[in-house]
Chain A
Amino acid sequence: MNEKPTMSCEQLGMRTVTRRQFLKYSGATAVASSVLSLDDVANAAITRPLAPGTPILVVVTLYGGNDGLNTVIPYKDPAYYSARPDLNYKPETLLPLSDDLALNASMVGVKKLWDEKKVAIVRGVGYPKPDRSHFSSMAIWQSGSPQNHLNTGWLGRWLDTQPIDPLTSISLGSVLPPLLAGKKQSGSALPLGGLIIPGGAMAKAFSRLSAPSQKDSPLLAAAATSMRNLFSVSGNITSVLVKPAPLADDLPTISGGNAGGDSNLSQQLNIVSKLIAAGSPTKVWSVSLGGFDTHANEANAQALLLGTVSESITRFLSQLKPSGRDKDVTVMIYSEFGRRVQANGSDGTDHGTAGPMFLIGDRVQGGFYGDQPSLTKLIDGDLAVTTDFRDVYATVLEKVLQSPAEKTLSNWKGRVNAFKSA
């Protein structure tokens, strides 16, 4: 029998995110985003470092729909084992968090942080009328708007409330995620390899070629701007980074993963930690990991992925310790949806609904938040959504970014009390 979702679900109108709109949305942002060089950031870190004690948000996007039930595992629930006879983990291998729930065995680092009360796990997170498409679901999470298609990201709208500064929020990788797209300003993209700027006569020729022109259409202007920005970057600043992080893939070939995201989370976080430690005036960082679309042979692939997440984040926080910035950082981890409860025939899972979110850091009040969705009261075979993701966003805006949530989440009322009081 179908149960109603347990969340207070105002019946929202039809969403009309089309694939076309989302593709446009993921690529095109309301305003041209800057691409920074490592030197840019390093320079700013020296000349105008972030004041110690300023909170920093690091958003980790897991692309592909992470299976929440095999991340935070209801390891004593017989329903878990009967739904997934060949896709469960043996209880004795898991990392118990409570009498009911345990972490995936690969998440040793996160378990240690949990024991230190630095991990909040928000359970059953999702949104009304779950959409199992990777692309529109990711658009909903990143825009922060399930009901209306917005051309801005929730953190992009926050950026719009901040002074214009390309360094306020930075995404690692050369393509800017929609989450950082604002109307007045967008986040910046920092390519992993950094930039090398041509010099001499060609530099002069190219700056002529990219001069602003009244006659330019928006795309011509964007093409000229992208080239002009390249030459406006100062090239002779002493780098605080001895060299960029070594190029190494985190992941061997895995069976999931055709839904976007990068494969080098530890490399991204390595650069982020160096730049935070150096004092980069950046309050929001965005990194990602792909590969969570685990329709087949999920157990090993997911353990590998979650292990990467856990190790990268614990290494990241410990790298920050000498600078003291580890106390300022809050890491937020989410994915576009959880998976179906019942395993499919290929020891994988198909697209589902709710999943856990993680908030990690010194400022976090460790523990569970939100109700654990029942494994026996399913909605069409899927978990009920018990917490709206906007509850978490609103809380993060207020408690981490110290900004009113109203402007970016149109007066969303819900909150998750997952932070220590100041």
Chain B
Amino acid sequence: MNQQRLETARLFHRFGFGPKPGEFSAALNAGVGAKKSELISNTSRTGSVLPAPVMLDLGKRPEANSPDVLEFSKALRNQNQILVLWWLDQMVQGDNQLQEKLIWFWHGHWATSIGKVNYALPMFNQLETFRRNALGDFRKFSQEMFADGALQIWLDGGENTVKAPNENLSREMMELFVLGVNRYTETDVKELARAFTGYQMVRSTGKIVLNPRRRDAGAVTVLGKTGVFTPDQVISHLVDQENCAKFIAERVWYRFISSANPLPVSHAAISAFSQRDISKLVAAFISSGDVASSENSMVKSPVEWFVAVCRALELTPSLLPSFSKLNGYLDKLAQIPLSPPNVGGWPVDEAWLSSASAQFRIAFATWLSGQAKLTALIELAPERRVNYLADLLGVVEWSPRTTFALREVRDNPQRLITLAICSPEYVVSV
């Protein structure tokens, strides 16, 4: 296997959503070092953003049997659709791909579903929080996430009062967001819940407000520290824990480098995160040798696969002929943005590789290749097409099996591209 192609492909598909036409060969010419430097400089750059959709506050849900209910439900669905398409377009077109990839990662980390939040506006606001903090200070990020209306609704934050604290947000803050499971005690969960009491949110906007009457003003003891804490203070204390560095490094490793192999205990990324600067953590992974290890294969999740295809084939999700069809395919492949299956986020690797998903991926791929302008491929002599596709898609190399299958259909560009994007070498980030 060509090492340079392997590393370059990894850098494109792990730290972004795959190359646009021409980008992969250009990066090969420039060398792996140049691509790494470019990515590392992107950790401090803010990328371009498509004009944000207009997200009106839809207000309270009308009474169950009132005539306004239908209109209201339509507006909810419509906003949801606009938001999903805007985000998918942004993933495809965002020029700082590293930032886009991190936003997607954080969505899986602070996994919040519109299924319970209901309103698109708080979800949009959460995405903005991800964008602001994607490569920033994890302490500030965690504090802003506490103040995030969608997350608060999702984990019953508004129900957490001095009279009887609700532990849902408190537990997941430690288990899933900041420290990792079993790195705290049950008492810590209960005490942290008390420090989180008193906030209420406007469901339709996600705006959160403190209601002092519902707040527990007493001292709490969380992870060995006692005091009367604001949420910002107690979150800062959580983020200070050594386990936070370990956990966030583990999460990034698991989603960017390897879902199968554990993060080495004293990996440089953990110490790079000593100041809780996400950009330094990510840069440490980019510059590490792990990107070059052939053992660290991963499977592209359905959204990652779809966005990569759109980039290579120059498709714009919002311009595809049918949102319901697009949504249906993503649903069948079991990954719709804004709708993670549970607070733990999406699964990985083999979970995406069932015969059912193979069937749906083939149908999806056929539909997508039918939308693409295949001019470049058509103009190319058939015998050059298979190699061209490896560079277009950022594939390390075609196996003899895939080469054979592709050659057989190379005279038919649409079939050829359909097969290529369904090939094991493309579905897997080798």
Q: Which A residues are within 8 Å of any B CB, using their own CB? A: 15-20, 22-24, 26-29, 32-35, 63, 131-136, 174-176, 189, 191, 193, 195-198, 201-202, 205-206, 208-213, 215-227, 229-230, 233, 253, 255, 257-260, 290, 293, 295-297, 342-346, 348, 350-351, 380
Partner of B297, one of A134, A220, A253, A344: A220
Is A213 touching B355 in the complex (CB atoms < 8 A)?
no
Is A220 touching B171 in the complex (CB atoms < 8 A)?
no
Is B347 touching A175 in the complex (CB atoms < 8 A)?
yes
With a cutoff of 8 Å between Cβ atoms, the chain A residues found around residue B66 in the complex are none
Is A213 touching B401 in the complex (CB atoms < 8 A)?
yes
Partner of A132, one of B160, B186, B254, B362: B186
Is B164 touching A253 in the complex (CB atoms < 8 A)?
no
With a cutoff of 8 Å between Cβ atoms, the chain A residues found around residue B355 in the complex are 34-35, 195, 226-227, 229-230, 233
Cα–Cα, bound, A220→B349 (Å):
10
Is A205 touching B260 in the complex (CB atoms < 8 A)?
no
- Which of the candidate stretches B133-141, B142-150, B173-181, B283-291 sits at the interface with the other chain? B173-181
Cα–Cα, bound, A55→B119 (Å):
47
Partner of A348, one of B118, B166, B175, B297: B166
Cα–Cα, bound, A258→B344 (Å):
9
Given contacts A17-B181, A35-B356, A293-B168, contact A208 B347 (CB under 8 A): no
Partner of A24, one of B348, B357, B422: B348
Is A209 touching B348 in the complex (CB atoms < 8 A)?
no
With a cutoff of 8 Å between Cβ atoms, the chain A residues found around residue B297 in the complex are 217-220
Chain B residue at smallest Cβ distance from A63: B342
Nearest CB on B from A41, distance (A): 14
Cα–Cα, bound, A22→B175 (Å):
13
B415 CB–A CB distance under 8 Å: yes
With a cutoff of 8 Å between Cβ atoms, the chain B residues found around residue A350 in the complex are 166-168, 171, 193
Q: Identify which of A189, A201, A227 gathers the most chain B CB atoms within 10 Å of its CB.
A: A227
* B:320-357 near A, CB below 8 Å: 332, 334, 341-345, 347-357
Partner of B424, one of A16, A196, A210: A210
Chain A residue at smallest Cβ distance from B197: A345
Chain B residue at smallest Cβ distance from A15: B182
Chain A residue at smallest Cβ distance from B214: A345
A-B pairs under 8 A by CB, number: 234
Partner of A259, one of B343, B351, B430: B343
New contact pairs (14) apart from A346-B156, A350-B166, CB-CB < 8 Å: A15-B182, A132-B171, A175-B354, A193-B332, A205-B415, A208-B405, A216-B399, A226-B354, A295-B155, A295-B159, A344-B165, A344-B166, A346-B159, A346-B161
Cα–Cα, bound, A133→B171 (Å):
8
B425 CB–A CB distance under 8 Å: yes
Nearest CB on B from A202, distance (A): 7
Is B347 touching A26 in the complex (CB atoms < 8 A)?
yes
Is B156 touching A223 in the complex (CB atoms < 8 A)?
no
Given contacts A208-B405, A351-B167, contact A223 B181 (CB under 8 A): no
Chain B residue at smallest Cβ distance from A343: B164
Cα–Cα, bound, A342→B400 (Å):
63
B303 CB–A CB distance under 8 Å: no
Is B156 touching A345 in the complex (CB atoms < 8 A)?
no
Cα–Cα, bound, A99→B75 (Å):
52
Is B168 touching A295 in the complex (CB atoms < 8 A)?
yes
With a cutoff of 8 Å between Cβ atoms, the chain A residues found around residue B419 in the complex are 205-206, 209
Given contacts A217-B297, A219-B298, contact A295 B164 (CB under 8 A): no
Between-chain CB contacts (< 8 Å), 5 pairs: A34-B355, A132-B171, A212-B401, A344-B159, A345-B163
* B:248-287 near A, CB below 8 Å: 250-251, 254, 259-260, 262
Is B356 touching A195 in the complex (CB atoms < 8 A)?
yes
Is A258 touching B342 in the complex (CB atoms < 8 A)?
yes
Nearest CB on A from B362, distance (A): 6
Nearest CB on A from B109, distance (A): 11
Is B118 touching A260 in the complex (CB atoms < 8 A)?
no
With a cutoff of 8 Å between Cβ atoms, the chain B residues found around residue A189 in the complex are 354, 356
Q: Which B residues are within 8 Å of any A CB, using their own CB? A: 113, 115-116, 118, 154-156, 159-168, 171, 175-176, 180-182, 186, 189, 193, 250-251, 254, 259-260, 262, 294, 297-299, 332, 334, 341-345, 347-359, 362-363, 366, 399-402, 404-406, 408-409, 415, 418-419, 422-425, 427-428, 430
Q: Identify which of A19, A198, A212 gathers the most chain B CB atoms within 10 Å of its CB.
A: A19
- Ranked 10 nearest A-B pairs via Cβ: A346-B159, A27-B351, A345-B164, A27-B347, A223-B424, A208-B405, A35-B355, A350-B167, A209-B405, A296-B159
Is A19 touching B354 in the complex (CB atoms < 8 A)?
no
Nearest CB on A from B123, distance (A): 14
Q: Identify which of B332, B342, B352, B399 gathers the most chain A CB atoms within 10 Å of its CB.
A: B342
Is B401 touching A174 in the complex (CB atoms < 8 A)?
no
Given contacts A132-B171, A209-B402, A209-B422, contact A253 B118 (CB under 8 A): yes
Partner of A136, one of B159, B182, B341, B354: B182
Is A220 touching B348 in the complex (CB atoms < 8 A)?
no
Nearest CB on B from A152, distance (A): 14
Chain A residue at smallest Cβ distance from B416: A205
Is A345 touching B399 in the complex (CB atoms < 8 A)?
no
Is A19 touching B116 in the complex (CB atoms < 8 A)?
no
Nearest CB on B from A351, distance (A): 7
Is A217 touching B430 in the complex (CB atoms < 8 A)?
yes
Nearest CB on A from B151, distance (A): 11
With a cutoff of 8 Å between Cβ atoms, the chain A residues found around residue B408 in the complex are 205, 208
Nearest CB on B from A205, distance (A): 5
With a cutoff of 8 Å between Cβ atoms, the chain A residues found around residue B294 in the complex are 217
Nearest CB on A from B350, distance (A): 4
Cα–Cα, bound, A48→B405 (Å):
36
Is B358 touching A380 in the complex (CB atoms < 8 A)?
no
Cα–Cα, bound, A296→B350 (Å):
35
With a cutoff of 8 Å between Cβ atoms, the chain A residues found around residue B427 in the complex are 223
Is B351 touching A253 in the complex (CB atoms < 8 A)?
no
Cα–Cα, bound, A63→B409 (Å):
46
With a cutoff of 8 Å between Cβ atoms, the chain A residues found around residue B156 in the complex are 255, 295-296, 346, 348
